[in-house]
């Protein structure tokens, strides 16, 4: 986990695809995202995931977003009950 990580944000994930708040990561180039509470599906290609389509991440998964492009395009949706993701943003 090289680099400097100095900003973070909890993300409530429910039945509509969501992404992180731009002002929280505005100058950052990468992130680590931990899936908490319940599984999610996610995409980082600019397309919203659905409950059936997207990469699945079980609870306690760590997702590494290795570029600004992936960070900007990251979107997540809960696969069932609401979930939480915590993103840690860095350079």
- Per-10-residue mean pLDDT for the chain, 91 residues long? 85 98 94 97 97 98 97 97 97 92
Residue 31's CB: how many other CB atoms inside 10 A? 26
pTM, to two decimals: 0.93
Predicted local distance difference test score (pLDDT) of residue 2:
63
Helix (H) or strand (E) holding 84: strand 83-90
């Amino acid at each position: 986990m090289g680099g400097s990580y100095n900003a973070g944000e909890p993300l409530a994930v429910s039945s509509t695809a969501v992404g992180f708040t731009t002002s929280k990561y505005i100058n950052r180039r990468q992130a680590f995202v931990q899936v908490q509470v319940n599984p999610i599906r996610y995409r980082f290609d600019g397309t919203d995931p659905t409950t059936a389509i997207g990469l699945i991440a079980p609870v306690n998964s760590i997702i590494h977003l290795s570029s600004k492009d992936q960070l900007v395009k990251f979107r997540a949706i809960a696969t069932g009950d609401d979930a939480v993701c915590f993103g840690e943003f860095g350079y």
